[in-house]
Structure 1
Amino acid sequence: MICFTLSFSSSMASFLKFLLLLPLISHIHGAISQKYPTLPKAAVLPLTKDISTLQYVTELLIGENLAPVKLVVDLGGPFLWVDSEFTSQFSSPGSVKICSLQCSMVEISGGSRSCGLGYNASKTCTLQVENSVSRISTSGEMKEDIVGVKFSDAVDPGSFAYIQRFLFSSAPNLLLEGLASGAKGMLGLGNSIISLPSQFSTTFGFFHRKFALCLSPSNGAVFLGGMPPELENEPTIPMMYTPLISKKSNIQQGYYINVNSIKISGKKLSMNPKGSVGRTKISTAIPYTTMENKIYSTFVAAYIKAATSMNLSLVAPVAPFEVCFSPNEGVSNKRTLPNFPTVDLVLQSELVKWRILGRNSMVRVSDGVMCLGFLNGGLNPMDPIVVGGYQLEDYMLEFNLGNSMLGFSSPLGMGEKKCSDFDASSRNTMVS
């Protein structure tokens, strides 16, 4: 018997809609079970970092001809969207009607769809599509087509996982502004029913509704279904866990954790009378962590004090950074940069903290200058703190959508393994 744990609406109507999908899910699961006596536990997407935009990009196979499409990874994005010109040239997607079961999934995910008497049922289902880098948004048509990614541990290492009726959105060409060269859209990994992790979990019942993310300055990977089996019990990658919190109305708008306090070199910063920082977003859409103006000012003052006590000298800032140092001799050649202050994001207790070492806090802009990779987010940002891609690199992050927990490792660059050791495009395993 196959069990599913999905975050659907509590209404009976929504539950009945999901029941209609079970025969298709069972059929696909049975076909996979016959082909693979030992079922794969994860599928893998190789990642690379675009040098000019600092975005993380991957490829999916889409359409009957399985054309590769280059996409920018959007950790909190609710779904996949692709340039309509690409889909018309390399794919033949089917349109989704507004009164269909597929369109109703948008309503379950927090959208608004009404289909009552007198409504034009032949109309195409539309979605609000956003480029999370440029913050441009517009409406796009909901589509369905074949999508494929590679299994990470199947009997046949070249085998692929396919979803025959994968739901996504087409979007006008204007949304490509600001994306990495050659990118034709964005791949959403967010906590919605039509995101890539959710659709894979729903289609292949043996996939857990979770995924692991490992970014690096060069290569990395996304593992659908969670950490690959060869790493689940890896003693060199211990994991800590913290709850994922919702932004509003129990609808996840990206991934958030609660930060109780921030410490620099072990000293707690005084942020406000309550001492709590609060909701913190995790994002791949921005290259560096941003902080609300007051938080940033307190943070920078404490960091400079800690750094100068370590005999680091302030130098003229280099845009976009506001604080830069001349490092001690020999420091710039060390991967972990031990001679810089440590930054701790203290989570639900003093025992659970996300430690950021010099490797993830300092950015080398020249041989003699390193700058603090935290930026001023302004007076009234949407989120007080957004942890950006640079601070996520060489951490193993596991997003469990079933129990709303985030697992995170210590910095992998400290030991023998790091995220760039993933050769996901060929062997799908860690390179020894």
Structure 2
Amino acid sequence: MSTIKQLAPMRRLCFNHLLAVSVLLLAAALVQECTAQGGSSGGDHAPLVSPLAKDPATSLYTISIKDGSGPLVVDLAGPLVWSTCACASGHPTFPCRSAECDAANGFNWPQQGRQWQQGYDAGADGGDHYCTCTARPCDPVTRARCAAGDLTTFAMSANATDGRNALYPVSFQAVGACAPDWLLRSSSLPAGAAGVAGFGRAPLSLPSQLAVRRGFGRRFALCLPGVAIFGDTPIFLGSYPPDLITTIASTPLAANPRNGGYYLPVEAISVSWPNWNLATTRAALPPSALELDATTGRGGVTLSTVQRYTAMRSDVYRAFVQAFSETIGKPGFVKPMPAVPPFELCYDTFSLRHVRVLGWDVPLIRLELGAGASMNWTVDSGNSMVQAADRTLCLAVVEMAPEAEHAAAAPAVVIGGYQVEDNLLVFDEDTEVLQFSGLLWGSGATCSGFNFNAPQ
């Protein structure tokens, strides 16, 4: 489906200006259609790259991609792109019965009622053929604070890439939702952010739109904080010489029919010391605790860029912290410290050995993956432990809040942004496969190692 099939007639106050915009957008769509049918040369379908940054105040990640405004917050499970619009009547819109409108409103937020799932109300247009599509942008952190806004288009730009360098700028249009200023101000977003870029499994997420517009397949890569790469390309980061795509692990992805998140087929969680000849401890989880219910959408293990630390449902959390506590205590030299909220398990750094490359010598956490995975997902200390106070190192995993745990389609585990920092993640929706590197420290590759300086 083309991301822009038809623009609604322009509002009367900005008719001439917006008519010109619509003609340009239609021409761009026609050029894309012709090149897709007849083949392309040069950079017409070149993959794209954009920088990612981490906001120190909120620990949210932003992508610099929207022209003429601040960056957009990356929401890995989000279905939409949304931002404020400069002029209430100064932007193109879509008809409320268009394919774009259906795509914008064809998702379900677990916390929302049906009134938020409709692109228009029956009869709301009063017989007007040109009723305007209403989309529902939401705060990506809470999912509970939402607003109504026109479905429109935004000017964006990124750089073409060969997987090693940023080559030349590329401008394009993306369909997104206008959001009122109050939603931007009241949401827990970084200062200066202009909105949100949804990366989820939805027709109007940013990766989905780029895949259709550029014709380069539904594949994108995130390396937080550092770089986002869209399209089928080798990936080179820092001084690590091989194409990383050829060296990293992979696992099938699972899909939740109730939301656009990316789920891992985790069957068990275990904890073990990397440098001690001690038995592995497997968390004593309740039966089927990690399973994803395909009917209700509850359960499963999902990835998030808006959850700061990994959060576990209470039954999973209690079993996991017991396993970790037992394992780290086996050698007998690690000294516990008082809890530092929101963390429960904390330890005296003076009783731990610092490992030069990977952080601290503490037990590894393994997410044991199901059939089809080339290896298990291992969480090293650089992703599992956080310096929470002087001489205090804490396990960076928290118990899920009751309101989140009991929400419809609540996951069993949400893997937070801290746990995937400095990891390369490559999502391929065409094959339903996720490739993952594990912690890159010491490999020569770094998330900040992409060359954004175009070659001379």
TM-score range, shorter chain: 0.7 to 0.9
Match of 1:386 in 2: 414
Match of 1:316 in 2: 338
Gaps of 5+ in 2: 4-27, 109-116, 273-279, 293-299
Out of 293-302 and 321-330, give the one that drifted further: 321-330
Q: What are the within-5 Å matches in structure 2 for residues 327-406 of structure 1?
A: 327-328=349-350, 331-332=353-354, 334-349=356-371, 352-379=375-402, 380-381=405-406, 382-406=410-434
Q: Which secondary structure does the structure 2 equivalent of 1:183 belong to? A: coil
Q: Distance between the aligned counterparts of 1:365 and 1:272, measured in 2? A: 30
Q: Distance between the aligned counterparts of 2:244 and 2:100, measured in 1? A: 42
Q: Distance between the aligned counterparts of 1:341 and 1:330, measured in 2? A: 11
Q: Distance between the aligned counterparts of 1:367 and 1:32, measured in 2? A: 60
Q: Which secondary structure does the structure 1 equivalent of 2:265 belong to? A: strand
Match of 2:301 in 1: 280
Match of 2:58 in 1: 53
Q: Distance between the aligned counterparts of 1:162 and 1:235, measured in 2? A: 27
Q: Distance between the aligned counterparts of 1:366 and 1:427, measured in 2? A: 42
Q: Distance between the aligned counterparts of 1:358 and 1:287, measured in 2? A: 16
Aligned counterpart for 1:303 among listed residues 309, 324, 329: 324
Aligned-partner residue type, residue 314 of structure 1: P
Residues 214, 222 of structure 1: 8 Å contact kept: yes
Q: Distance between the aligned counterparts of 1:83 and 1:304, measured in 2? A: 47
Deviations 1:4-38 (A, max 9, x none): 999xxxxxxxxxxxxxx98453346599945x2x6
Gaps of 5+ in 1: 7-20
Q: Which secondary structure does the structure 2 equivalent of 1:297 belong to? A: helix
Q: Tell me which protein shows more strand as a share of its residues.
A: 1
Out of 344-353 and 195-204, give the one that drifted further: 344-353
Residues 41, 228 of structure 1: 8 Å contact kept: no
What is the Cα deviation at residue 228 of structure 1? 4.0
Residues 427, 433 of structure 2: 8 Å contact kept: yes
Aligned-partner residue type, residue 298 of structure 1: A
Q: Distance between the aligned counterparts of 1:368 and 1:156, measured in 2? A: 41
Deviations 1:400-426 (A, max 9, x none): 1222221111321142212122344x3
What is the Cα deviation at residue 130 of structure 1? 1.1
What is the Cα deviation at residue 76 of structure 1? 0.9
What is the Cα deviation at residue 121 of structure 1? 2.6
Q: Distance between the aligned counterparts of 1:367 and 1:155, measured in 2? A: 40
Match of 2:264 in 1: 257
1:192 aligns with 2:191: no
What is the Cα deviation at residue 106 of structure 1? 3.1
What is the Cα deviation at residue 332 of structure 1? 4.8
Deviations 1:356-380 (A, max 9, x none): 0111000012441111100000453
Q: Distance between the aligned counterparts of 2:164 and 2:393, measured in 1? A: 46
Deviations 1:243-262 (A, max 9, x none): 222222xx642211221000
What is the Cα deviation at residue 389 of structure 1? 0.1
1:224 aligns with 2:225: no
Q: What are the within-5 Å matches in structure 2 for residues 104-183 of structure 1?
A: 104-106=102-104, 112-113=118-119, 119-135=127-143, 136-153=145-162, 157-164=166-173, 166-176=174-184, 177-183=187-193
Q: Distance between the aligned counterparts of 1:199 and 1:160, measured in 2? A: 18
Q: Distance between the aligned counterparts of 1:259 and 1:155, measured in 2? A: 32
Q: Which secondary structure does the structure 2 equivalent of 1:69 belong to? A: coil
Match of 1:95 in 2: 93
Out of 121-130 and 280-289, give the one that drifted further: 121-130
1:169 to 1:276, Cα distance in 2 relative to 1, 3 A: closer
Q: Distance between the aligned counterparts of 1:294 and 1:246, measured in 2? A: 23
1:138 to 1:361, Cα distance in 2 relative to 1, 3 A: same
Residues 99, 115 of structure 1: 8 Å contact kept: no
1:375 to 1:119, Cα distance in 2 relative to 1, 3 A: farther
1:26 to 1:351, Cα distance in 2 relative to 1, 3 A: closer
* Alignment root-mean-square deviation, CA: 3.4
1:320 to 1:101, Cα distance in 2 relative to 1, 3 A: same
Q: Distance between the aligned counterparts of 2:213 and 2:158, measured in 1? A: 13
1:236 to 1:210, Cα distance in 2 relative to 1, 3 A: closer
What is the Cα deviation at residue 335 of structure 1? 4.3
Q: Which secondary structure does the structure 2 equivalent of 1:260 belong to? A: strand
Match of 1:26 in 2: 33
1:420 aligns with 2:426: no
1:82 aligns with 2:83: yes
1:289 to 1:257, Cα distance in 2 relative to 1, 3 A: same
Deviations 1:30-86 (A, max 9, x none): 99945x2x6664211101111111111121233xxxx143211111111110023xx
Q: Which secondary structure does the structure 2 equivalent of 1:138 belong to? A: coil
1:229 to 1:391, Cα distance in 2 relative to 1, 3 A: closer
1:24 to 1:198, Cα distance in 2 relative to 1, 3 A: farther
Aligned-partner residue type, residue 353 of structure 1: N
Deviations 1:87-107 (A, max 9, x none): 339x95311221334323336
Aligned-partner residue type, residue 227 of structure 2: A
Q: Distance between the aligned counterparts of 2:312 and 2:159, measured in 1? A: 37
Match of 2:223 in 1: 214
What is the Cα deviation at residue 348 of structure 1? 0.8
Aligned pairs, number: 395
Give the TM-score normalised by the residue count of structure 2.
Answer: 0.77
